[in-house]
Structure 1
Amino acid sequence: MARRTSNQVFALLPALGLAVVAAAGCATSTQTTGTAGDSGIAVVESGKLTTCTHLPYEPFQFREGDKTVGFDVDLVDLVAKDLGLTQTIVDTPFEGIQSGEDLNTNKCDLAAAGMTITDARKQNFDFSDPYFDAEQALLVKKGAGIKSLADLKGKKVGGQASTTGKDYLDANAAANGYTVIEFEDLALELTAVQTGQVDAAINDNGVLYDYAKKNADTEVTTEFPTGEKYGIGVKKGSPLAAKINESLKKAKDSGEYDKIYEKWFGKKPASK
């Protein structure tokens, strides 16, 4: 590379100063790098629809070999296809998802994580229309004889951090005399039931029934009606929410949603 003379270097200093300022601006920019086909919706990565999730949360999203698969994954694939994009998935702690930080810092375009729509989360980001109905449920070792919150008195109960299941546990702990043990993710929580680290665990019914089906030494003994509904999260004011709703409606009208539901849950969704 040719060297510059001293005069050339001094002449470049003002320009370099401006370049440094510009670079600093880029470092904190929240600009995206592409648009979603003809829709004109800005996306984090050109040609991609980037999804934030927290693994594992089977059967909604989990690793199978070198791929991330699941009910949520298949639904978002439909959205991506309608937008002329390909879904790419980022595994990230759930706290960053529910706080809205991952969306606001452009880590992803949307969040699909078996996530219940709550008023608190609505303060942080916008939700799509509901796409799944859920309740809280109780998982125990088979034959443990635990069938209610009252049966948990004096026992340890697992809950997943930052979830509505953990909120439910906390809200009912004092009245029922159990100790709440927090776990970072679902896998740790469920393993704790199997190993006896906790006497029971509470989480969404969909994931617990799926686990008990594959682990015969555990069982779901009861559900707690909470009337929860899952939604897909997007940044506040993002037009992506409307596009997601369009894709979900089209899938339900065509029967594609029912096929995906049956694929992952072994039955068609209950008619509403």
Structure 2
Amino acid sequence: MDRRTYLKTGTGAVVGTLLAGCTGGGSGGGEGETTEGAGEETTGAETTAGEETTTGESESLPETVVIGSDIPYRPFEYETTSGELTGFDVDIAKAIFEGELGIGYEFKPTSFDSIIPSLNNNNFRIIMSAMTINEERAKKVDFSDPYFTAYQTVIVRKDSDITSKEDLKGKNVGVQKGTTGASAAEGLKEEFGGDLTLKKFDQIPGAFQALMNGQVDAVVNDNTVNAEFVNGKGEGKVRFLEGEGEAAEQGKDAPPYLTLTVEEYGIAFRKDDDEFRKKVNEALAAIRESGKYDEIYSQYFQG
């Protein structure tokens, strides 16, 4: 999948201090696994300025919704060189909250591997962070209707002798902590009888840099984020690992490279926020119906 050369400048506000790390419900450390990067973020029961702190069926819309998100995670949420927040999730948030619901929105940078506890500690109202809907997370949060389909994929250096999934056996693989990419790599490790070493990074740029430096042999991550790197900073230096995979097995419109999983992204809400979730789902349906969703999608992705 090629990325578009045009990336729209976002208008979302960013609150809080940019923190290291990325989200999810990944697995812990173990034999044959190392961790790279800064320590995990700790969270507290903090209320966020500019939004109502109580939720429930009778609640009106807040003036501003604060959104927890891991930044950077191109092309979903990241800062431009001038410091503006942009990305697919940012533009979808603008369309939903400003365009359909008539309220403001702010993004709060948050470590991905602690983002669900942060949500449930009232540090922000929702999560929009390319978050895959899965059973483990659904025990802790409620999700919106799906708004994006993604695949876990593998990239390697262009001069690598790795040409198939089986060639990864015995190799070092970079992943982002707490993500479904890390979970997919754990599945590979199990498939290989433990003969795979995982190196976990707080944020995905660290894994990409390790690949370029030869510290890992491959990176497992979402297809669109991998494509952003393959066609950007890694152009001519890295490539996708090819082969049929889970998407083809499920009869999906599979991308032209190996897919380890097929996943759906959703917006995460606290368990007691049903009325707000309903309104967001209605707004999401409205931007699909109007063509606004497709307009935003075409600015970041092809196909």
Shorter-chain TM-score tier: 0.7 to 0.9
Structure 2, unaligned runs of 5 or more: 1-43, 243-257
Q: Work out the CA distance in 2 between the residues paired with 1:151 and 1:107.
A: 43
* 2:87 equivalent to 1:70: yes
Q: Give the superposition deviation at 1:248.
A: 1.2
Residue of structure 2 equivalent to 1:234: 269
Tell me the secondary structure at the aligned position of residue 224 of structure 1: coil
Given that 1:61 and 1:70 are in contact with CA atoms closer than 8 Å, whether structure 2 keeps it comes out as yes
Matches for 1:121-270 after TM superposition, within 5 Å: 121-176=137-192, 177-214=195-232, 215-216=234-235, 217-222=237-242, 223-238=258-273, 239-265=275-301, 267-268=302-303
2:166 alignment partner AA: A
* 2:96 equivalent to 1:79: yes
Residue of structure 2 equivalent to 1:22: none
Q: Work out the CA distance in 2 between the residues paired with 1:69 and 1:165.
A: 23
Q: Give the superposition deviation at 1:218.
A: 1.1
Aligned-pair identity in percent equals: 32
Structure 1, unaligned runs of 5 or more: 1-26
Q: Give the superposition deviation at 1:58.
A: 0.4
Q: Give the superposition deviation at 1:35.
A: 5.0
Matches for 1:11-50 after TM superposition, within 5 Å: 34-35=51-52, 40-41=59-60, 43=62, 47-50=63-66
Given that 2:78 and 2:87 are in contact with CA atoms closer than 8 Å, whether structure 1 keeps it comes out as yes
Q: TM-score, normalised by structure 2?
A: 0.72
Q: Work out the CA distance in 1 between the residues paired with 2:141 and 2:272.
A: 8
Q: Work out the CA distance in 2 between the residues paired with 1:145 and 1:251.
A: 45
Alpha carbon RMSD of aligned pairs, Å? 2.2
The C-alpha deviation readout for 1:15-48, integer Å capped at 9, x for no partner, is xxxxxxxxxxxx9686986459xx94464xxx32
User: Normalized per residue, which structure has more helix?
Assistant: 1
The C-alpha deviation readout for 1:79-131, integer Å capped at 9, x for no partner, is 2212222211111111222xx22222221111011110010000111100000
1:51/1:125 CA distance change after superposition, 3 Å: same
User: Normalized per residue, which structure has more strand?
Assistant: 1
Aligned length: 234
Given that 2:96 and 2:287 are in contact with CA atoms closer than 8 Å, whether structure 1 keeps it comes out as no
1:156 alignment partner AA: N
1:225/1:149 CA distance change after superposition, 3 Å: closer
1:236 alignment partner AA: K
Q: Give the superposition deviation at 1:225.
A: 4.2
The C-alpha deviation readout for 1:165-213, integer Å capped at 9, x for no partner, is 1011112214332211111111111111111110100011110011101
Tell me the secondary structure at the aligned position of residue 164 of structure 2: coil
Given that 2:155 and 2:226 are in contact with CA atoms closer than 8 Å, whether structure 1 keeps it comes out as yes
Decide which structure has the larger Cα Rg and report it: 1
Which is further off, 106-115 or 234-243?
Answer: 234-243
Given that 1:32 and 1:106 are in contact with CA atoms closer than 8 Å, whether structure 2 keeps it comes out as no
